[in-house]
Structure 1
């Protein structure tokens, strides 16, 4: 069984994505959360090689809002032959328990040229 890999990413309280999203209760936009996932995967040589230049997001589900100042654990399992790369993102914000809160899940397909 392949163990998942995880990388922790800090989301600064003053990240510009929080401006106007939403006034009075700032939340990290989903597209920014996905950008963090792609940055983490691109930094891992094995994941980057598998994904190729133009991976396809085949599914994503946003489960919980991410507040300013939260840390994100981006975790993924390397795919098997012909499989999909599955990921999950857990947030760690003040008041969350040690395991964090599931913020998003999804899966990616490799670029057509890589398959």
Structure 2
């Protein structure tokens, strides 16, 4: 799933003045949307492990790459310069 956050998106207000960066929570929101679209999990999801490696700037394109199946997925959010974030998502009823 590819996405881009436009420079006028409200999530950028104050994050950070003069050099806006897309907040990590917005990246994670796209990860969860990708899982829900591809796998329609039945249980609530949790994020036991997440690591942010590089920032995503407004207007840059990123892609969510998933590996796995319910109840556990690994993910990477990739940008044009490499991996932006990686981690694990689990159904809350497992593990």
Give TM class, smaller chain. 0.7 to 0.9
2:43 matched to 1:53?
yes
Larger-Rg structure: 1
CA separation in 1, counterparts of 2:16 and 2:36? 29
- In structure 1, runs of 5+ residues without a counterpart are 1-6, 93-99
In the TM superposition, residue 53 of structure 1 has moved relative to its aligned partner by 3.1
**What TM-score, normalized to structure 1?**
0.73
Q: What RMSD over aligned residues (CA atoms) do the two structures have, in Å?
A: 2.0
Report the counterpart of residue 30 of structure 1 in structure 2. Answer: 24
Report the counterpart of residue 95 of structure 1 in structure 2. Answer: none
- In structure 2, runs of 5+ residues without a counterpart are none
CA separation in 2, counterparts of 1:73 and 1:39? 12
Higher percent of residues as strand: 2
Count matched residues.
95
Match of 2:53 among 50, 59, 63: 63
CA separation in 2, counterparts of 1:109 and 1:53? 9
2:83 matched to 1:91?
no
**What TM-score, normalized to structure 2?**
0.87
CA separation in 1, counterparts of 2:32 and 2:21? 19
Q: Which runs of 4+ in 1 moved over 4 A?
A: none
Match of 2:65 among 72, 75, 96: 75
